[in-house]
Structure 1
């Protein structure tokens, strides 16, 4: 005997039990809506309404659990919200900055080991996050590694851009393309002279070969960008006036995620804007809430199309995008 179809507005005991029975068959037993409809003598449209009701009522709770230190639910929502090629969110709750950075580096290393294939070319600029990431590299396919920028001397970082690239190439077994140059010069003239230097010019030209790059993303604020912290107050104000909200690999961008030529651009040794835009996959390593606005701009502008982030940063990005949790 068929079950009489009733309106969901009644929500009496029989309806609740029916919703639970449908939910058990669908989610636990793996039955299709058509199969459930035939078994219970109701229409498949009623089955669909009962399933919706069971979820809305809280009878069914769908949870995507974490895998190790990877928050799979946030990773999937971040990837979907921003249309990313890859998104890895690490649970860094209670970790100090250095330990969290190490965890992010390890997650990036695991991602690279999964997505790189023989024939790819890995591009690495100088950055604190990239330095820590390369220290976590263990197993990578045989790919060449290319240096994308000069380097700076900052407390707590003892590796140059050359060290970073060589370290990565030792893991891949591929060739390394390196050059010796600072990231930031005192004048446009000095920087232009270094760019014309044969080894530097040839090294920067290798960026055209890069298929995957890993970048830190800096926000134009104290403590959030090594370049910001290294220049004068007047330089900082000039960049703000030009619309700078952040930098990636030494290239400046505005709130729309557009690469712009800021007053400091001529003093920086790094790949060109066109070369950066041409890299098929750019993975950003980011953490903390303060950088979220700058990273969001980089995502909107397509400067970054993959992310490795901590939970705090991921939540800030999702909040900024208005994504429901």
Structure 2
């Protein structure tokens, strides 16, 4: 067996066995060694860190990248950051699975959970395992509903599915999240059945939100539902929107936008989100970086779950 300092032999044996797929007998013949010596060399390769074996279980938990997590915590003063890699699955699937894991852990510690809408929230809730908690937390919507953004193909809303997975009863908000009239939004908020739910949602212990970026995914659809006039659209774009949370837009510096869009959303406000003890923000895909960066700069996110590509892009832009 070669001495520990004979690294070249160890590396050559490891390449033949692991990269070229040779058998140990073939490696022994190639190097003029006995098969038992080759076995010991390969063991030494692992012991010395020359060879690292990683098992990617597509059904197991996502792999976290601690260095990126630490960098995000420092850059954005986060309480927690979960950065997951997706070697065998899509970024959204890995992020959704990790987000579901965070919710499962928190659900045993809080008495109330609020949830937003969108593709990300649907993916996260779909990954959540049924728990039947006793007592179960209250589950509330942070925004009104809309069939294309709030519902699964089955017709069930994100709030109802989340509540079902936690063994809870959902508290519903029978009103759309986005409207064409600021007056209508004001009138609906004045209705006790709607206003009371939004007030309770603003007091949850944990808020789970997707983070949008201007021009991609659901963001254009939210704008189209507002039916802005040309003048209103110009006023909106003059504020340089970057991202959105709960249907409310924010600029690249983390400043929430005002009229006209802010007045047409039936949802908790940014100031209310800032008062919630923990806001869990979840996003996947490097295309969301501008929006996620703006939302992070607002200080509204306490815990972040993202994929590795998005994490690196966020750090590159700081």
TM-score (ref. length: structure 2): 0.71
1:70/1:79 Cα in 2 relative to 1: closer, same or farther (>3 Å)? farther
Q: Separation in 1 of the partners of 2:199 and 2:226?
A: 27
Counterparts of 2:186 and 2:279 in 1: how far apart (Å)?
26
Between 1:137-146 and 1:158-167, the stretch displaced more is 158-167
Residue 259 of structure 1, CA deviation: 2.2
* Cα separation, partners in 2 of 1:162 and 1:203, compared to 1, 3 Å: farther
Distance in 1 (CA, whole Å) between partners of 2:204 and 2:49 is: 47
Local SS of the residue matching 2:180: coil
Q: 2:241 aligns with which of 227, 241, 244?
A: 244
Give distance in 1, aligned partners of 2:155 and 2:144: 6
Of structures 1 and 2, the one with the larger relative CO (CA 8 A, separation 6+) is: 2
Give the aligned partner of residue 62 of structure 2.
Answer: 69
Number of residue pairs the alignment of both structures matches: 259
Query: Does the Cα contact within 8 Å between 1:216 and 1:285 map onto a contact in 2?
Result: yes
Equivalent of residue 113 in structure 1, options 104, 107, 124: 104
For residue 155 of structure 1, report the CA deviation from its aligned partner: 7.9
| Partner Cα separation in structure 1 for residue 293 and residue 92 of structure 2 | 20
> How large is the Cα RMSD of the aligned pairs?
3.1
Provide, for residues 237-287 of structure 1, a one-character-per-residue CA deviation record: whole Å limited to 9, x for no partner.
Answer: 321213422211122222221223231121111113332221121111112
Is the Cα–Cα contact under 8 Å of residues 224 and 291 in structure 1 kept in the other structure? no
Q: 1:146, 1:177 within 8 Å by CA — same for their partners in 2?
A: yes
**Contact 2:201/2:268 (<8 A) preserved:** yes
* 1:288 corresponds to: 285
- The corresponding residue for 1:254 is 251
Q: CA deviation at 1:213?
A: 0.9
**Residue from 196, 199, 202 that aligns with 1:205:** 199
Unaligned 5+ segments in structure 1 are 1-16, 18-58
Q: Which moved more, 1:228-237 or 1:291-300?
A: 228-237
| Secondary structure in structure 1 of the residue aligned to 2:144 | coil
Q: How does 1:11-160 map to 2 (within 5 A)?
A: 68-73=61-66, 74-93=68-87, 95=89, 99-140=90-131, 141=133, 142-154=136-148, 157-158=151-152
**Offset of 1:77 from its aligned partner?**
3.0
1:310 partnered with 2:303: no
Q: Is the 8 A contact 1:120 1:211 kept in 2?
A: yes
Deviation at 1:236, TM superposition (A): 4.2
